[in-house]
């Protein structure tokens, strides 16, 4: 099991389930009152020897601010500490001050850097594309070709399937869902 979505503050399974009982959002990993419980729950879920769980290291696709201290390689835990690696990044579309970003532009450099540090199966740990300023289905089709062209260790994609203030990332419309189906069939293993 990959625990990322279980503990996510905004979209995590635990916060979603607790909201049915009127409980507010909990910052599972950021609040010291809850973080130990979260780690213990993950350890129990991993089962004997930790074989039922994977450790994923997935930074944002670029360093903010772009200084050496915040560079991806500065906070890599080491290849022996992780089972999977990845990066998160979003194409929010065109609109000041943002620009349309192709998948290779978003993930190319991060992929190369991360694979050099820890050559493990690579996940797009969270990604999505809006449609403002470009072709969302085309963006997904380009993403689907990246395993064979520039990201041979691409093993999975978690899609940010929501509408938020930055754009509508939901998989809606036949062209978009068809492109995403092709991505799942061809580029992820």
pLDDT digits (tens, 9 = 90+) for 155-176: 888 888 888 888 899 999 999 9
With the C-alpha atoms ordered 171, 135, 149, 122, is the resulting torsion angle positive or negative?
negative
Residue 59 half-sphere exposure toward CB, CA atoms < 13 A: 20
Residue 15, pLDDT above cutoff 90: no
Show the tokens assigned to 11. Answer: 């979209």
Query: Which is nearest to 107 in space by CA: 70, 65, 132, 142?
Result: 142
Cα–chain center distance at 17: 22
* Strand residue runs (E) in 61-178: 84-91, 122-129, 154-159, 163-164, 167-168
* pLDDT on residue 14: 80
For residues 11 and 109, the model is more confident at 109
* pLDDT on residue 99: 78
Q: Read off the pLDDT of each residue in 107-126 and give the average, rounded to a whole number.
A: 93
Model confidence band, residue 112 (pLDDT cutoffs 50, 70, 90): very high
Among 53-62, 113-122, 148-157, the range scoring the smallest mean pLDDT is 53-62
Show the tokens assigned to 58. Answer: 């997935």
Instruction: Report the predicted TM-score, pTM, of the whole model to 2 decimal places.
Output: 0.75
d(Cα 132, Cα 135) in Å, to the nearest integer?
Answer: 8
3-state secondary structure of 159: strand
* pLDDT on residue 180: 92
pLDDT digits (tens, 9 = 90+) for 30-61: 677 877 777 777 666 666 556 667 778 888 88
Residue 171 half-sphere exposure toward CB, CA atoms < 13 A: 15
d(Cα 75, Cα 180) in Å, to the nearest integer?
Answer: 32
């Amino acid at each position: 099991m990959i625990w990322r979505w279980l503990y996510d503050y905004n979209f995590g399974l635990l916060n979603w389930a607790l909201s049915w009982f009127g409980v507010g959002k909990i910052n599972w990993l950021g609040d010291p009152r809850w973080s130990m419980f979260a780690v213990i729950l993950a350890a129990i879920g991993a089962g004997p020897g930790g074989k039922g769980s994977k450790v994923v290291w997935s930074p944002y696709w670029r360093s903010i601010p772009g200084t050496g201290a915040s560079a991806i390689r500065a906070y890599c835990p080491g290849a022996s500490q992780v089972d999977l690696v990845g990066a998160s990044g979003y194409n929010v579309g065109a609109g000041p001050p943002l620009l349309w970003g192709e998948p290779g532009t978003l993930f190319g450099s991060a992929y190369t850097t991360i694979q050099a540090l820890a050559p493990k199966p690579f996940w797009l740990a969270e990604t999505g594309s809006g449609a403002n300023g470009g072709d969302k289905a085309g963006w997904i089709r380009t993403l689907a070709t990246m395993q064979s062209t520039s990201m041979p260790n691409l093993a999975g994609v978690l899609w940010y399937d929501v509408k938020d203030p930055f754009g509508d990332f939901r998989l809606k419309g036949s062209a978009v869902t068809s492109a995403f189906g092709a991505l799942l069939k061809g580029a992820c293993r």
